[in-house]
Amino acid sequence: MGKAIGIDLGTTNSVVAFKDVTVRTIQTGANNEDLCRSCVALDKNGNFLVGNSVFNSWKRHAPNIVVSAKRLMGASINDSNVQKMKTNSHAYPFGIQKLSGGTEDSVAIVLRGKEYTPEQISAEILRALKNDADTKLGDVEYAVITVPAYFNEKQKSATKKAAKLAGLKVLQLLAEPTAAALSYGFDNLKDDEDKTLLIYDFGGGTFDLSILTAAGGQFVETGAGGDRWLGGDDIDAILSDYVKDQIEQQNGINLEELLSDKTDKEVAEFTAGLKKDVENAKKTLSQSSSATIMISDYLENEDGDPLEDIVVSRETFESLIRPLIQRTIDLIEELLVKTSITVDDLSNILLVGGSSCIPLVKRMLVEKYGEEKVMSSEKPMLAIAHGAAILAASMDTSKWKEDDDQSVDVDEEIPDGPIVYTAKHNYLIQLTKNGRKEMERFIDDQTPLPFNVNRQFSTIVNNQKIVEVKLFSDAEDGTYDKLASGFFTITDNLPSGSKLNFTFNLDTNENLRVSVKVVATGKTSPVVLGRGSKDSSCLSEISSSIEDIMNDDSISDNKKTAFLSKIQSIIVAIENSKLKSDDDKWLDFEQQVMTAKQFATEPEEKENRLGEILATILVKNFPQYLDPSDFNEMREKLEKLNKTNDSFQKESLQNELNDLATSYSILLNIFLFKIIANNTNNPQDAGRANCAFDEMMQSLKTGDINNIRRIQHENEDLLKKNVTGLGNAFSAGIG
């Protein structure tokens, strides 16, 4: 059986550790170092490179180099902080954009013109750590991976997906502050001893707070806070801005104008040199009274003379960063108020993370809370990984199970180990009351986990067949983060106000699952929730399509009813399929939704012929790829349709052909790409559509259905952009 390791997947640095008799750090990289830089580059041959050597070769790899991918895990492209990263090309030279074919808020990292998800980038870091651990320990299969205490379900799901891509089975996602407390040894208190601990985790990319009660060999998580956009990176940014100002003042130049006259190579040298020097200066100023930024090594003035170096004193450095440190203290005070815990109640404040090594941090904390309370580790940057390794060693790997499913487990066992887990957020569901959207909380933060709760809600219209469920958690800024949305269906005709019993299950990793019982019928079904992968894209398409069609006054009630009936059948098929979140079959269902939307937007006279049109497309263009019985049935029904004058029989045949044809959505969408190529007025779209069509036809010949799904997903924007008005093209396409 494979071994279990502890991993601190950090924003700036990552660490892997293992516990047998003692806890030890597994050194990584070619130089066997304790810290692995959370830095990933993509070389010209398409190979990923990870770690310290990559970061130290920044100039060589930029812009195809990624740092701080953790900040993008589970984040929204619309988040203001993500947009700040996008515009700060000096610190984050890689591309950041909306993921093609993803949900409306999904994020893509762009390297060498190709999109990658933050999970894929983080997976490369985890894979490198796993490979080093494999080399030192033998087969490594399991891991406890640490995450910030404030991470929501979406961010945790992204972390687990990254681990899965890296070939790791996650035993537990452990809050970083709790891991730190384990590493400090507070799980070994005497039976009659208890302590209340505040963990102050100031890392490279995040600031994390947690209050724990340690007693009887167990930890109870009693409060969490922090700021995921506050860390050592921000200290670097402040110091870098100061150095740039000093360059201008001491040399009498306009730095922006000077750099605009430099070559791309010279600008890259300056950016890489300044980044490295600023980080080194930050470390030096934690030990010495001053540090020198060697500007003369990588920047000359317009006459070719080296610029003056910049000396930064510790006094200046501390004055620059004092507001950031004060911000961390303000967050402590907010957490104490939220948890009704006083300073006197705190036994110790434990310092963790590289930024906590800065002398001003400890000094300001001591000034505020007293020297006897503040404790620091000899190696604060290793503490979290060590805590994860301690927990990993205590867990039974035979109890690991895949958790990517929708079923509610009301009898979930509390996991082994010394930690009593609690919810880090309030959980809410969006309801419609009197035509208004309202939020109702169903789980409070600090609720012990695992936890099940029942709530009763009602249908809002007569004969409601589709119910959309939208779930949220509270965010740090007082707003709400959308966690997931999903659907379930009601087969019976029920009056408005019919009762629905919801069961919500939150496990120790804060995975949320939901099931619903229709009281009138006694039927219970799971709510299929999106988990941030292909499932979310499909479910988002269902949601937006329903909204578009139902709000379109030009579409008749009959067509809206037919559309909803088709969507209902798709949702039922999804429920019955029990798909994993990244299963390619989600793409097929998404294409079916888009086809149903297309039907609904067609004029009535074309709508009446769609079954005939689609069946004719399949019979004429794809006969060899149809099931022989389906092919023969389509031909027979098309012949009957041409011969009959009975309007009732025509309508029946059209519906039967429609049902037969839409089961071949992959083939229909291949044909759609050909239509787009021939009919769009946008040459760029036409070229993309034509290439996609040719590639898919080649894959069809070799039977590579997964590649067809991939191509359709990557070019899904073409279908969405051109779907309206394709009815004429459909008709023209069959002659």
pLDDT, greater one: 405 or 302? 302
Q: Evaluate whether 406 touches 529 at the Cβ level (below 8 Å).
A: yes
In tens, the pLDDT along 512-530 reads 999 999 999 999 989 989 8
In tens, the pLDDT along 280-315 reads 999 999 999 999 999 999 898 888 888 999 999 999
pLDDT for 347 equals: 94
Q: Read off the pLDDT band of 595 (50, 70, 90).
A: confident
Task: Establish whether domains 1-184+377-400 and 190-374 are of one fold.
Answer: yes
- Phi-psi group of 349: left, alpha or beta (phi > 0 → left; psi -120 to 50 → alpha; rest → beta): beta
Question: Is it the case that residue 727 has pLDDT exceeding 60?
Answer: no
| Amino acid code (one letter) for 378 | E
Question: Is it the case that residue 724 has pLDDT exceeding 70?
Answer: no
Question: Is it the case that residue 498 has pLDDT exceeding 80?
Answer: yes
Query: Average per-residue pLDDT in the chain?
Result: 88
Copy the structure tokens of residue 690.
Answer: 């034509």
Domain residue spans of the chain: 1-184+377-400, 190-374, 404-532
Q: Which CATH class is domain 190-374?
A: alpha beta
Q: Does the reported pTM lie above 0.85? A: no
pLDDT for 672 equals: 87
Separation CA 502–CA 336 (nearest Å): 34
Q: Read off the pLDDT band of 735 (50, 70, 90).
A: very low
- Within 13 Å and on the Cβ side, how many CA atoms surround 360? 22
pLDDT for 385 equals: 96
Q: Evaluate whether 290 touches 314 at the Cβ level (below 8 Å).
A: yes
Q: Read off the pLDDT band of 726 (50, 70, 90).
A: very low
DSSP string, 254-273: -HHHHHHTS-HHHHHHHHHH
Copy the structure tokens of residue 659.
Answer: 């049902």
Separation CA 323–CA 370 (nearest Å): 20
Q: Which of 160-169, 476-485, 694-703 has the lowest mean pLDDT?
A: 476-485
Helix %, strand %, coil % for the chain, to 5? 45, 25, 30
**Antiparallel, parallel or unpaired: β 107-111 and 114-116:** antiparallel
Average pLDDT over residues 23-32: 93
Contacts of residue 277, Cβ cutoff 8 Å, sequence gap at least 6: 293, 294
Question: Is it the case that residue 731 has pLDDT exceeding 50?
Answer: no
What is the fold, at CATH topology level, of the domain defined by 1-184+377-400? Nucleotidyltransferase; domain 5 (3.30.420)
In tens, the pLDDT along 320-359 reads 999 999 999 999 999 999 889 999 999 999 999 889 999 9
Of 69, 97, 63, 240, nearest in space to 159 by CA: 69
Q: Say yes or no: domain 404-532 is CATH 2.60.40.10.
A: no
Separation CA 451–CA 510 (nearest Å): 10
- Our CA angle for 307, 308, 314, nearest 5°, is 135
DSSP string, 85-133: HHH-TTT--SEEEEPTTS-TT-EEEEETTEEE-HHHHHHHHHHHHHHHH
Copy the structure tokens of residue 46.
Answer: 């398409």
Contacts of residue 89, Cβ cutoff 8 Å, sequence gap at least 6: 63
Copy the structure tokens of residue 708.
Answer: 């067809």
Question: Is it the case that residue 169 has pLDDT exceeding 60?
Answer: yes
pLDDT for 556 equals: 87
Q: Read off the pLDDT band of 605 (50, 70, 90).
A: low
- Whether omega for the bond prior to residue 450 falls within 30 degrees of 0, making it cis, is yes
Distance of CA 84 to the CA centre of its chain: 18
pLDDT, greater one: 369 or 604? 369
- Our CA angle for 313, 316, 321, nearest 5°, is 125
Separation CA 38–CA 70 (nearest Å): 9
pLDDT, greater one: 658 or 493? 493
Q: Read off the pLDDT band of 728 (50, 70, 90).
A: very low
Question: Is it the case that residue 397 has pLDDT exceeding 80?
Answer: yes
Average pLDDT over residues 643-651: 84
Distance of CA 156 to the CA centre of its chain: 8
pLDDT for 1 equals: 66
pLDDT for 523 equals: 93
Contacts of residue 495, Cβ cutoff 8 Å, sequence gap at least 6: 459, 462
pLDDT, greater one: 537 or 519? 519
Separation CA 691–CA 685 (nearest Å): 10
pLDDT for 407 equals: 55
Q: Evaluate whether 610 touches 653 at the Cβ level (below 8 Å).
A: no
Q: Read off the pLDDT band of 629 (50, 70, 90).
A: very high
